[in-house]
Amino acid sequence: MGTHGLTCDNLVAAQLVTADGTTRTVDAATEPELLWGLRGGGGNFGIVTQFEYTLHPVAALYGGPIYYSASHTGAVLRLLRDMEAEAPDELVCLVFLGAHGSFDEPVVEVVVAFNGPPDVGGAIVRPLREQIPVLRDRVGPISYLDLQAVNAQVPFGVRHYWKGHFVREFSDEVIDLTADAFSRHQGPTGGILIEMLHGVARRIPADSAAFGQRAAAANLSAIGAWRDAAEDARQMAWVRGYADALLSHSLTGAGYVNYATSDEPADRVRAAFGAQGLARLAALKWRYDPENCFRFNMNIPPAGAASAAASG
């Protein structure tokens, strides 16, 4: 993300089957507006049967997880925020606050990813090792593939409910309310995921992709994950409570549409793209799917349908 942008920024072409059964090749030369829409607009325009991405050579990375006691949550998040503000593009970190199978207590897990030489990366992340007591440190030279496998896959059959916001600033107030929500989380799975936006991902022109949250400092998501259906109400209330607490700090009033649940209200879907982005997406929807065939998603209604309803 820091050196090459988001996944959607690297999408250069796609093969798309639209609602009328037409197979289309979508790229900057043939369908530039539709390519823009596919860069973050979700499954609103058809079924993508082939993606083409720009690939980047990646040598050995310097990264992995560092674990801290939950009692240091606020201190770790403040340190990480201050480090990211000064760090080069090559450093991107994410944080998970929650239970971990190899610890008897909830922990703060910071996953480091430095796309550069280990000696340089080691010097940059030294404060994470020296300023706060560490439970376990597994940061070192690592391959890109191994870094993706740092956290185990979520077991099949777990009930899920996610909600959060892209925040304008990773402020002290945001950190404090996050630490408070973490302290009230109960259960052996789930927690809070914090994804810092950094580097190239924030500098790419906003109109290059439908993704509408590029100016955010971070994406914060409460992750409810549990097995017993009797826990549904309590777990979902905790998730909603954290998202509600973040609302006044939200960049647009929305979270990450890829994490959204089936009860996501239409206003949060609209807020995720912004007024101008939503208008472009709705026009694309009217052009390629005027009957809203592809609607079991974070739905963008066709522009013509909205106009017809208004005129009545």
Question: What 3-state class would DSSP assign to 246?
Answer: helix
pLDDT, one tens digit per residue, over 102-156 is 888 899 999 999 999 999 999 999 999 999 999 999 999 999 999 998 887 777 8
Three-state SS for 191?
strand
Exposed/middle/buried for 123, CB within 10 Å: 0-12, 13-18, 19+? exposed
Among the ranges given (53-57, 221-225, 230-234, 265-269), the one the predictor scored with the smallest mean pLDDT: 265-269
What residue ranges of the chain are covered by domains with CATH 3.30.465.10? 8-56+275-311
On whether the 8-56+275-311 domain is CATH 3.30.465.10, my answer is: yes
Q: What is the CATH number of domain 61-259?
A: 3.40.462.20
- Residue 97: what residue type? L
CA-based nearest residue to 172, from 133, 134, 110, 217: 217
pTM for this model (two decimals): 0.92
Convert the pLDDT of each residue in 185-221 to its tens digit: 987 889 999 999 999 999 999 899 999 899 999 999 9
Question: What are the Cα distances from residue 75, in Å, to 8, 164, 165, 176?
Answer: 33, 22, 22, 10
Domain(s) of CATH 3.40.462.20: residues in the chain? 61-259
Please check the confidence at residue 306 and state whether its pLDDT lies above 60.
Answer: no
φ/ψ of 179, rounded to 5, equals -65, -40
Q: In what order do the strands lie in the sheet with 47-53?
A: 23-27, 11-17, 47-53
